[in-house]
C-alpha cells in the first residue's frame, strides 16, 4: 500500500517532514537542519508549550557534547528571521522566558499518499542528505568529499572490486607488519602534552577562589602560546575536574595523556602573595623544576609572566632546545593595571560558572576592570562573551545584548588584534546576529590560529561547523 505522507501548514508556510523542507507559497526556503528540527517539534505540538528541556531531550540527546542553550537560541533566532516573525509581537513562535516556546498560529495537518512507496522517512535526528545551497563548503573539504551519487556497479564488476580491495588491504597490512618488525626505531618527536592543574587556594578564605582559579586559567592561556608546535596544553574544562581531587599525579597524567604537569598554590596576606609552582614529570613523578614567588599582592601580572618565562626555559631545556624565554616580559604594570587585572580575574571566575547570575556578576567585574584601565582588552573581550551568551541562557531577547556585545568585542580588537578571545567573541556575534557565516568562519579560524590551545575557540568553532552540517577532522585551519 502507498505510504502516507504528512504535511503541516500555518499561515503562508508549508512544512514537509519527509523531505525536511519549508515552503512559502510554493517557494522553498533555506533552513539549516537544527532550525528545521525545532520548527517541526513546534508545529507537531502547536498550541502547547514545548519546554527547553523537552527540546534538549528530543533534539540534543544525552552524549551530544554541544552548548545546548547556545544552539537552541541560534536555531530559534534563525526561524524567526526565516518566518519574518517578531520576538516582541510574534505571529508564529511565542517565547516564554526561561520556560520554552509555543507555536501560536493555527496549524493544519494533511496526510496524502506518497508517490513512491519505496521511500523511507528518516528519523529527525539524522543529518540532511544535502548541504543548504547558501553554505559554501571549504575547497579542501569539497576536494575530498563528493556528494554526487554514483551509478550502482554491475554484479561482476562489484565482485572484482571487492576481491581487489581485499588483496590491497592484505598487501598493505603485510607491508606495515614487515616495516614494524624490520624498520629501525625512529626517535620520538620533540613534542609532548602538558597540563596546568588547578592552583590550590591556601589562603583559608573561599572568597579568594577567584584568585587561584583565575591564575590557573591565565597560566593555561600563557602556556598555550609558548610553542604550539612543540607541545600542547590541556584545556581548562578538562583540568578543573581535578580541583580538590585525591587522585595521584600518575593517575591524572594517564587520564589526561600528558607527560608533564604544572602544580601550584597561592597564599596571601593583607599585602603580599606567594605563588608556589612545580613542573613534574608524570612517568616517574620526578620534580623537573620548582620555584616560589614572593611578591606584593598587586603584582599578579608580573608573577604570572615570570612563571610562564621560567616554564618556557625549562621546557626548552627538556626538549633539547635553546634555553630562552619565549614569553616576552611586559613592562612593570601600573597600579591601575594591577587593579584591572584583579577585577578581570574575578570576572573570569564568574564567567566560567556559565549561569545567568554568573554572567551578570562577570559583567560587573569586567566593567570595574575597564574603569581602572580603559585599555584592558581582555576585559572588553570577556564582557562581549557574557553579553553574547546571556540571552541564550536566560531566554530573554538578544537584540540589546548583542549591540553591547559587538561594541565590546570591536573595542577589544581595536586595543589588541592578537587577542584570540576577542576574535572568538566577534565570531559568535556575527554568526548569531548578522548570520555572516563567512566572517564568523574567518574570526574563529583567527582565534585558534593565535592560540591553538584555546579550547573555547575550538568548541565554538566546532558548533559553527555543526550548524552548517559540516564535519571536519584535525586542525580547523587545515
Q: What is the DSSP secondary structure assignment for residue 250, as one 8-state letter? A: H
Residue 330 parent element (H or E): none
What are the residue boundaries of the structural domains of the chain, listed by start?
A: 4-130, 192-318, 354-467
Would the pTM count as exceeding 0.75? no
Question: 192-318 and 354-467: same fold?
Answer: no
pLDDT of res. 274? 86
Contacts of 144 (CB under 8 A, 6+ apart): none
CB 300 within 8 A of CB 341: yes
pLDDT of res. 468? 56
Q: Is the pLDDT of residue 371 over 80?
A: yes
More confident residue, 346 or 308: 346
Q: What is the pLDDT of residues 132-176, one digit of tens each?
A: 333 233 333 223 333 344 434 444 444 445 445 544 445 545 544
The grid cell for 374 is: 580603559
Residues 82-95: b if buried by 16+ CB within 10 A, e if exposed:
bbebeeeebebbbb
The grid cell for 402 is: 548583542
Domain 4-130: CATH class, spelled out: mainly alpha
pLDDT of res. 98? 78
CB 209 within 8 A of CB 201: yes
Q: What is the pLDDT of residues 101-119, one digit of tens each?
A: 999 999 998 887 654 433 3
More confident residue, 24 or 363: 363
pLDDT of res. 238? 84
Counting Cα atoms < 13 Å in the Cβ hemisphere of 105 gives: 20
Residue 433 parent element (H or E): none
**What proportion of the chain, given as a percentage, has pLDDT over 90?**
20
Could you tell me how far CA 477 lies from the centroid of its own chain?
15
Does domain 354-467 fall into CATH 3.40.50.1820? Answer: no
**How far apart are alpha carbons 42 and 201 in whole angstroms?**
48
**How far apart are alpha carbons 382 and 365 in whole angstroms?**
10
Report the candidate in 466, 469, 445, 467 with the shortest Cα–Cα distance to residue 457.
445
**How far apart are alpha carbons 41 and 310 in whole angstroms?**
55
The grid cell for 46 is: 502547536
What is 192-318's CATH number, 3.40.50.10610, 3.40.50.620, 3.40.50.300, 1.10.150.120?
3.40.50.10610
Amino acid at each position: 500500500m502507498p505510504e502516507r505522507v504528512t504535511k503541516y501548514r500555518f499561515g503562508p508556510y508549508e512544512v514537509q517532514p519527509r523531505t525536511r523542507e519549508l515552503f512559502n507559497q510554493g517557494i522553498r526556503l533555506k533552513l539549516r537542519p537544527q532550525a528545521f528540527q525545532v520548527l517541526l517539534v513546534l508545529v507537531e505540538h502547536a498550541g502547547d508549550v514545548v519546554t527547553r528541556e523537552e527540546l534538549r531531550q528530543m533534539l540534543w540527546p544525552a552524549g551530544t557534547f554541544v552548548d545546548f542553550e547556545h544552539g537552541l537560541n541560534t536555531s530559534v533566532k534563525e526561524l524567526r528571521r526565516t518566518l519574518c516573525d517578531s520576538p516582541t509581537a510574534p505571529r508564529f513562535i511565542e517565547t516564554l522566558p526561561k520556560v520554552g516556546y509555543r507555536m501560536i498560529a493555527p496549524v493544519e495537518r494533511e496526510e496524502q499518499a506518497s508517490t513512491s512507496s519505496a521511500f523511507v522517512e528518516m528519523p529527525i535526528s539524522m543529518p540532511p542528505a544535502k548541504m543548504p545551497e547558501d553554505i559554501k563548503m571549504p575547497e579542501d573539504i569539497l576536494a575530498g568529499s563528493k556528494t554526487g551519487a554514483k551509478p550502482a556497479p554491475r554484479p561482476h564488476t562489484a565482485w572484482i572490486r571487492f576481491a581487489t580491495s581485499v588483496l590491497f588491504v592484505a598487501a598493505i597490512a603485510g607491508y606495515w607488519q614487515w616495516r614494524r618488525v624490520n624498520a629501525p626505531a625512529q626517535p620520538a618527536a620533540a613534542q609532548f602534552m602538558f597540563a596546568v592543574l588547578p592552583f590550590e587556594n591556601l589562603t583559608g578564605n573561599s572568597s579568594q577562589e577567584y584568585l587561584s582559579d583565575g591564575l590557573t586559567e591565565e597560566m593555561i592561556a600563557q602556556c598555550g602560546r609558548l610553542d604550539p608546535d612543540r607541545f600542547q596544553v590541556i584545556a581548562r574544562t578538562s583540568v578543573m575536574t581535578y580541583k580538590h581531587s585525591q587522585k595521584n599525579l600518575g593517575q591524572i597524567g594517564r587520564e589526561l595523556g600528558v607527560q608533564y604537569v604544572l602544580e601550584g598554590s597561592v597564599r596571601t596576606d593583607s599585602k603580599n602573595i606567594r605563588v608556589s609552582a612545580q613542573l613534574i614529570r608524570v612517568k616517574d613523578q620526578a620534580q623537573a623544576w620548582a620555584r616560589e614567588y614572593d611578591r606584593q599582592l598587586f603584582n599578579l601580572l608580573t608573577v604570572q609572566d615570570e612563571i610562564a618565562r621560567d616554564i618556557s626555559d625549562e621546557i626548552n631545556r627538556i626538549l633539547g632546545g635553546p634555553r630562552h624565554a619565549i614569553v616576552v616580559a611586559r613592562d612593570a604594570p601600573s597600579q591601575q593595571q594591577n587593579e584591572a587585572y584583579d577585577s578581570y580575574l574575578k570576572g573570569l571566575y564568574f564567567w566560567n560558572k556559565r549561569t545567568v547570575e554568573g554572567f551578570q556578576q562577570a559583567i560587573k567585574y569586567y566593567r570595574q576592570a575597564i574603569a581602572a584601565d580603559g585599555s584592558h582588552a581582555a576585559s572588553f573581550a570577556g564582557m562581549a562573551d557574557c553579553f553574547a551568551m546571556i540571552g541564550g541562557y536566560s531566554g530573554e531577547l538578544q537584540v540589546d545584548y548583542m549591540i553591547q556585545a559587538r561594541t565590546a568585542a570591536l573595542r577589544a580588537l581595536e586595543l589588541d588584534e592578537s587577542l584570540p578571545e576577542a576574535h572568538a567573541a566577534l565570531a559568535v556575534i556575527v554568526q548569531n546576529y548578522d548570520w555572516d557565516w563567512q566572517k564568523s568562519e574567518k574570526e574563529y579560524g583567527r582565534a585558534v590560529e593565535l592560540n591553538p590551545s584555546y579550547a573555547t575557540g575550538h568548541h565554538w568553532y566546532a558548533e559553527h561547523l555543526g550548524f552548517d552540517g559540516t564535519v571536519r577532522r584535525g586542525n580547523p585551519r587545515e
